[in-house]
Amino acid sequence: MSSPHDFDFLHGDWQVLNRRRTGFLDPDSDWEEFPATSRCWPLFDGAANVDEIDMPHLAAKGATLRLFDRESRLWSLNWASSRTGTLFPPVVGRFTEGRGEFYGDDRHDGKDVRVRFVWSGVSDTGARWEQAFSLDGGETWLTNWVMEFTRAS
């Protein structure tokens, strides 16, 4: 069952290897890889956290605010980009047996998309984040971004 401490593993400094599609909705698009750094710190005694990721390859930074709703026992993950200065619609979900799945709705390239974030392989020294979009309400998914987190020394 999800808890306010599901994201405790993420607190601190990370090296991040990014792999993303050049066309988020194109299954035939190429993948590009680039490094990034991330720092996460807790709020609300662990029931919330904030991270900032620096992606020089994209000339951008991103920030995520994660909030745990104690009544529903769900997390909302709220992403903002330095490129736009806007907050994207949240994805909402929970951890079950060490795997976190979070879903939401957004628009990309003028199309409505269902969004899925998955956290897996969680440990003190590493984790994997994956983003996928669906154009058919979640029937099929196209993974378009993967981040491999390694604890910075």
Its CATH architecture, for the domain 8-151, is Beta Barrel (2.40)
Q: DSSP character for 83?
A: T
What are the tokens at 33? 């890889």
Q: What pLDDT, in 10s, does the model give residues 49-66?
A: 999 999 999 999 999 999
Whole-structure pTM value: 0.95
Q: DSSP character for 87?
A: B
Q: What pLDDT, in 10s, does the model give residues 8-27?
A: 999 999 999 999 999 999 99
Q: Domain residues of the chain, as ranges?
A: 8-151
Using the structure block, give the residue that is written with the tokens 């200065």.
85
Q: What's the sign of the alpha-carbon dihedral 122, 124, 54, 32?
A: negative
